[in-house]
Structure 1
Amino acid sequence: MTIRKVGMSVVLMASALLLSGGMAYSEEPVPLPQVPADYAGKHMPAGGWTDPKAIAEGAKIFTGEANPLVNCGSCHGKDGKPVKKGARDLRDPKNTTRFSDSFWFWRVSEGVPKTKMKAWKQFLSEEQIWQVMAYEHQFSHENKPAEHTDYKP
């Protein structure tokens, strides 16, 4: 094979790789599983997304201050920027707006199969789960309390 043919082959393979990678990133997100009946009726208590006391308690839970066995920041980072591979970036609105409050509650409670996200229901009460969710929700809203009205199924 001549040098010219080798060069042309490399260019073609690189182009194919770039084009296929671009298509992979343009696909729609994988559909979310249906929330189990036990969790489908659970919703953030009225005013919970913006309640300063709930958010303050959520911060203590998130950082491990409330319970050293629960430290969300050890994976999701102190500001929602993941520090461990596979953890969701809680600063990215795409990672919070696609979850209903009941879906999010379910995943915090039961964990996420085939990931390192553990079930936290044995360590946290329902109230504490709502509190940590309210705190986490701020990361995708410029670190300010916000209602979860941006949810888009």
Structure 2
Amino acid sequence: MLKIMKQTKALQLAMVLGMGLFMVACGGEGEGPIVAPPQAPAEWTDKHMPAGWWTDPAKMEEGRKLYIGQANPDVDCGSCHGKDGKPTKAGARDFRVGERMKLYSDSVWAWRIADGVPNTKMKGWKSKLSEEDVWKLVLFEASFGMPGKRWDAEKKSWVDVASASTAPAPVGK
């Protein structure tokens, strides 16, 4: 009888530990604490969304098609980050969390897409995407958690699309 009780306790403990591991692996607390990402390297610091793109529905649609793998079958951001921005793979950034995503300048966001994120499964896509395509992805991905916002390089913050400066900028500058 004592042996059965010990086996039952061991089984219960294993189930509790297993459930805890399952919850952690499946998200549990999400992505952890919200902290600012590292600054973009020098080659990305002064690059920003091309002028007029934040309000261009055609560019937004091109970004959507890239994101879901329709425009380039080698690139399917939605396979990890979810078609609606809700991650489908552990560790993928949740673009719907505006409080986290507002810490990313457009430059940092583009850099992460192009060069990847060290020590994660997020690889760099610059071998599969033009720089223009990277900016289209930033445009579309930002719409999940920060609709109606754009990065203002002068203010160094996200602002309402209508209040942002409209100084012309070439692609990636």
Q: TM-score range by the shorter chain?
A: 0.7 to 0.9
Partner of 2:29: none
- As a proportion of its length, which structure holds more strand? 2
Unmatched segments (≥5 aa) in structure 2 = 1-31, 160-173
Residue 125 (structure 1) aligned with residue 130 (structure 2): yes
The runs of at least 4 consecutive aligned structure 1 residues that moved more than 6 Å come to none
| Alpha-carbon shift at residue 95 of structure 1 (Å) | 2.8
| Alpha-carbon shift at residue 34 of structure 1 (Å) | 2.4
| Alpha-carbon shift at residue 133 of structure 1 (Å) | 0.9
Asked if the contact 2:35/2:100 (under 8 Å) is kept, the reply is no
Corresponding residue pairs, total? 124
**TM-score, with length taken from structure 1:** 0.74
Partner of 1:101: 106
Residue 136 (structure 1) aligned with residue 141 (structure 2): yes
| Alpha-carbon shift at residue 28 of structure 1 (Å) | 6.7
SS of the equivalent of 1:148 reads strand
SS of the equivalent of 1:103 reads helix
| Alpha-carbon shift at residue 31 of structure 1 (Å) | 4.3
| Alpha-carbon shift at residue 134 of structure 1 (Å) | 0.6
Aligned equivalents of 1:28, 1:68: Cα separation in 2: 33
**TM-score, with length taken from structure 2:** 0.66
Change (3 A) 1:95 1:29: closer
Residue 87 (structure 1) aligned with residue 92 (structure 2): yes
Cα distance per residue 1:77-120 (max 9 Å; x no partner):
00000000000110110232000111111111000001111100
Partner of 1:151: 158
